[in-house]
Amino acid sequence: VRLGVDIGGTKTDVVLVRDDVVIARHRAPSGFGEEDVIRSATAAVGAVLAHAGIGFDDVRSIGIGVPGGVVDGVVTYALNLGLERLDLAGALEEAWGLRPVVDNDVNVAALGAWTHLGRTDDSLAYLNLGTGLAAGLILGGRLWRGANGTAGELGHISVDPKGPADADGLPGALETYASGSGITRQWGVQGAVARDVFDAADRGDPTAIAIREGLYFGVASAVRALVLMLDVQRVIIGGGLAAHSAEILLGTARQFAEWGSRSAFLESLALQERLLVLDADAPVAALGAADLGAGDVSRG
Amino acid sequence: VRLGVDIGGTKTDVVLVRDDVVIARHRAPSGFGEEDVIRSATAAVGAVLAHAGIGFDDVRSIGIGVPGGVVDGVVTYALNLGLERLDLAGALEEAWGLRPVVDNDVNVAALGAWTHLGRTDDSLAYLNLGTGLAAGLILGGRLWRGANGTAGELGHISVDPKGPADADGLPGALETYASGSGITRQWGVQGAVARDVFDAADRGDPTAIAIREGLYFGVASAVRALVLMLDVQRVIIGGGLAAHSAEILLGTARQFAEWGSRSAFLESLALQERLLVLDADAPVAALGAADLGAGDVSRG
């Protein structure tokens, strides 16, 4: 059996895979800080194995997805998990006696989505609308990580020099429009979450409505940039904001129609038809992590 | 020997390559319209062979770069050449008895730049600042064309919803800021070329100065988008506007410094250090075409 572990900012999701079928799954809150992250991941792995009645000795491989940068199993700047720098592969190898393969959670989700869709697409982008905004890229059936492992950081592309400010004060970043942190920063109410902004928009609050319109503009702009730059066959929308996918898809359709009505070239790209939202409950990232650990995916 | 032919909007550039060395080169004006394009390409090929004292029978392969979309040797919308749809590979095979491999000129230039730099870079983008703006992408040592062959069309990414209009009236497209057609459209003087705008800026014309500043902003924004999205090791600036590369590099350095002073993440990307301008006289596209024809490059 193979283990796939997705250590998210809030939840740790573990799947046990045998012959490409998920035979057990366990979800639990993620820890915060080095010790707690390791403890919660270990506990979740123990729980899924106990649930399946399988011993650790039968595990062939472990793959892990985490937020932040990952090079050779070392995680940096996973700030949602309270990690500045942690040799996660090393620490878990010591604890488990088996070295896991670790990668960025968005890359892992892209792999998982690709597997979930049968690996028939030559290219796809997994656009993660989570706390931040980033994409995992499958190009030519391989994960593209870039020269330094920072490919897919399109959240920092600016689409408006007069747009709302990001955490650094830079205007118009895609992440400001279309991520949980960006939406709540624009809203400015202490302790609020994106849901609160959408509720306020539903009640007719004009500021909230403008932020919600900005979300549609941001997602549409991200998809436009991904397809123009890479001509990926599909763009899969995932992350926490995908819970609002019905409204988001209506919003992007409206934006694409406006652009397409003026530009035959943009119209010809069929941006909306490339969009896909996966079932929010599908263990896409954990599944991708299991693939990653097993090494049965071609990687660039 | 191998032939590489770059049919540009104004010039056709032909190189004859033996053992990876250019042994002859010939440049001539490109024709306009189906018959003239074929006639001028055939004449240029004849001239380079005559110059080298080599017969057509000794040519092993021919590769061709052309503007516009290319699928299976058929060129579409190469409007600079007056071509709406032409089976260029078929027509030249009939004329020459040897079927050329045809690809988009920017893709071919990316291949040529990669070869020119010794093929040591794992990834690079060739950012063509020509009549339009587009990029050729080498990712993992392979040309990335996308699902439908339209990858690299970043000229249609918008970076300002209140920016200057493109040919379709859409605001803020990178191509409007940083291409020959975009600069002259902004300037609005019948028959003017980009050089005229720069000259006017040098004389202190405020409109021309603003357009020139927009060029720097557009190139910097294109590089920012390319590196954030793909983390390419290098971005090579080519195309007609590369004749102004000294000013452009000063302008991008200023823009990157402004962004980097606020964002440690953008600063860490070392955008300016990834930039490179090749000698404007290097036969990059023709060289890439020769590679393409020979099939000795891995292609996605």
pLDDT in tens, A133-162: 999 999 999 999 999 989 999 999 999 999
Interface of A with B in 24-43 (CB under 8 A): none
pLDDT tens digits, residue range A72-95?
999 988 878 999 899 999 999 998
- The answer to whether the CB atoms of B123 and A147 lie below 8 A apart is yes
pTM (2 d.p.): 0.93
**Interface contact B120, partner A, CB < 8 A:** no
In the stretch 125-144 of chain A, residues with CB closer than 8 A to chain B read 135, 137, 139-140, 142, 144
- Write out pLDDT tens, residues B156-187: 999 999 999 999 999 999 999 999 999 999 99
Q: Do A160 and B161 touch (CB under 8 A)?
A: yes
Contact criterion met (CB < 8 Å) for B123 and A139: no
Which of B231, B232, B233, B261 best tests the A interface by mutation, with the highest count of A CBs <10 A?
B231
Query: Does B225 contact A154 at a Cβ distance shorter than 8 Å?
Result: yes
B122 Cβ under 8 Å from any chain A Cβ:
yes
Question: Which residues on adjacent β-strands are paired with residue A13?
Answer: A6, A27
Of residues A84 and B201, more confidently modeled: B201
Of A139, A169, A221, the CB nearest to B144: A139
Selected for mutation to probe chain B from A229, A262, A267, A298 (highest B CB count within 10 Å) is A229
pLDDT tops 50 at residue A300: no
Q: Say whether pLDDT at A263 is over 60.
A: yes
Q: Which residues of A touch B264 (CB under 8 A)?
A: 168
Minimal-distance CA residue of chain B relative to A264:
B168
Nearest to A195 by CA among A236, A153, A247: A247
> Among residues 260-299 of chain B, which lie with CB inside 8 Å of chain A?
262-266, 269
Residues 40-79 of B with CB under 8 A from A: none
- A-B Cβ pairs (cutoff 8 Å, strict): 135
Give the Cα separation of B145 and B200 in Å (integer).
38
Q: Residues with Cβ < 8 Å from A188, sequence gap 6 or more?
A: none
SS3 A149: coil
Confidence of residue A257 (pLDDT cuts 50, 70, 90): very high
Nearest by CB to A161, from B139, B155, B160: name it. Answer: B160
Mean pLDDT of A232-257: 96
Q: Is B148 on the interface with A (CB under 8 A)?
A: yes
The C-alpha atoms of residue A9 and residue B32 are separated, in whole angstroms, by 58
Helices vs strands, H then E, count in chain B: 11, 13
**Contacts with B, A 167-226, CB within 8 Å:** 168-170, 221, 224-226
Nearest CA to CA, how far is B154 from chain A (Å)? 5
What letter would DSSP give residue B37?
Answer: H
Question: Is there a contact between A238 and A128 (Cβ–Cβ < 8 Å)?
Answer: yes
Check residue B300 and give its pLDDT. Answer: 34
Helices (H), A203-239: 206-230
- Closest residue in chain B to residue A123, using alpha carbons only: B147
How confident is residue A296, by pLDDT bands cut at 50, 70 and 90? low
Smallest CA-to-CA distance from A137 within A295, A290, A288, A293 is with A288
Residue with tokens 């029978």: B57
Strands lying side by side in the sheet with A21-29:
A21-29, A11-18, A2-7, A61-66, A101-104
- pLDDT tens digits, A194-223: 999 999 999 999 999 999 999 999 999 999
- Would the pLDDT of B297 be above 70? no
Contact residues, chain B, for A123 at CB < 8 Å? 146-147
Q: What is the mean pLDDT of residues A53-71?
A: 92
Contact B228 A154 (CB under 8 A): yes
Nearest CA-CA partner of A181 in A171, A189, A170, A193: A193
Nearest CA in chain A to B299: A140
B60 alpha-carbon distance from chain centroid: 26
pLDDT of residue B299: 37
Is B146 in the A-facing interface, judged by CB distances under 8 Å? yes
Residue A299: per-residue pLDDT? 37
For the ranges B147-151, B154-158, B212-216, the lowest mean pLDDT is seen at B147-151
**What is the rounded average pLDDT for all residues in chain B?**
93
CA torsion sign for B242, B245, B248, B252 is positive
Which chain A residue shows the shortest CA-CA distance from B153? A228
Is the per-residue pLDDT at B298 higher than 60? no
Distance (Å) from the alpha carbon of A50 to chain B's nearest alpha carbon: 41
A104 torsion bin: left (phi>0), alpha (psi -120 to 50), beta (else): beta
Hey, of B217, B230, B261, B276, which one would you mutate to test binding to chain A, going by the most A CBs within 10 A of its CB? B230
Q: Which residue out of B104, B124, B228 would a mutagenesis test of the A interface target, given it has the greatest number of A Cβ atoms within 10 Å?
A: B228
Give the pLDDT score at A43: 95
Between chains, do B230 and A148 touch, taking CB under 8 Å as contact? no
Task: Tell which wins on pLDDT, B78 or B124.
Answer: B124
pLDDT score at A297: 52
- Rounded to whole angstroms, how far apart are CA atoms A216 and A246? 11
Per-residue pLDDT tens over the stretch B27-85: 999 999 999 999 999 999 999 999 999 999 999 999 999 988 888 999 988 878 999 89
